Amino acid sequence: MRSLSASVSGPPFSPATVIELAKPVTWFAPMWAFMCGSVSAGLSRGDAPMAFAGVVLAGPLLCATSQIVNEWYDRDVDAINQPERPIPSGRIPGRWGLALAVVASVVSLAFAALLGPVVLWGALAGLVLAWAYSAPPLRLKRNGWYGNAAVAISYEGLAWFTGAAVIAGGVPDGHILVLAALYSLGAHGIMTLNDFKSVAGDRASGIRSLPARYGVQGAARIACALMAGAQVAVCIALFVWGAPMHAAIVAAMLVVQVGLMRRLMKDCAGRAAWYNATGTSLYVLGMLVSALAVSAG
């Protein structure tokens, strides 16, 4: 009778625990990139319903799915770094974490199909990268170069691409693709900053994140070089495309970021979160400026 009652009452965890597992704080990056992609393709008021649906796909569906997948396959690492998380703490018991990851993947693909074939293929590519990042045998996150590239492409490049595809009704033009690629490159550096908080667990688990591989100082230099280099390339591209004012705005924000990077280098681990709130904010504002430049052109 007890087991029957448990099965009728539903899963042994609360909706709030599932939301915590999906880490809503991480949804902003792909949602913002999707929105920038839509703007770059000429977003208008009439496109608002499709754009809103795409934002839901990018954040609460695809990004949430990637977080659940990662939480399941990272449960042993989290037992060292963050034992209070839902899976290692036992608040989501057994194999429920894996079941949630599979269901979320299917729901995400079904929703993406409603937005068109190009969006569906983009969503499928993002899910493949999400599973490849976390799950064996590939488990790309074991290598900081490959793993961060997978996340950066998913959260920035593919989100930008699908945002533009929703508005364009197909594959967007070359300028948009260039911006999506460059901002994905810079996002690799942002992902590296997020790895500073888990160096001990990564080393203990054999995960060669860039901070675990090169030390916090060395990884910070790589991250800053990638973020700055990508934005320099964006400025050059915008200037060549006939948008010198937009290029100048992105360049001005980059100059401020370089000053913030100098301060970051004095205490990389301690100031990583601070830099994400300051320098990374300027980075994402530059994404919108670049999107407006392409749209205006």
Per-residue pLDDT of 106-124, as tens digits, reads: 999 999 999 999 999 999 9
Helix/strand/coil percent split, the chain, to 5: 80, 0, 15
Q: What is the DSSP string of 196-260?
A: GGGHHHHHHHT-B-HHHHHHHHHHHHHHHHHHHHHHHHHHHHHHHTT-HHHHHHHHHHHHHHHHH
What is the amino acid identity at position 246? Answer: H
pLDDT band at 6 (very low <50, low <70, confident <90, very high): very low
Q: What is the largest CA-CA distance in the chain?
A: 73
Distance CA 120, CA 11 (A): 30
Region of 207 on the Ramachandran plot (φ > 0 left; ψ -120 to 50 alpha; else beta): beta
pLDDT at 4: 38
pTM of the predicted model as reported, rounded to 2 decimal places: 0.91
Residue 198, pLDDT > 80, answer: no
pLDDT band at 82 (very low <50, low <70, confident <90, very high): confident
% residues pLDDT > 90 (the chain): 84
Distance CA 295, CA 297 (A): 5
Question: Alpha carbon of 81 to those of 76, 248, 290: distances in Å?
Answer: 9, 42, 37
Distance CA 151, CA 191 (A): 8
pLDDT band at 9 (very low <50, low <70, confident <90, very high): low
pLDDT at 3: 43
pLDDT at 178: 97
**Exposed / middle / buried, residue 5 (Cβ in 10 Å: 0-12, 13-18, 19+):** exposed
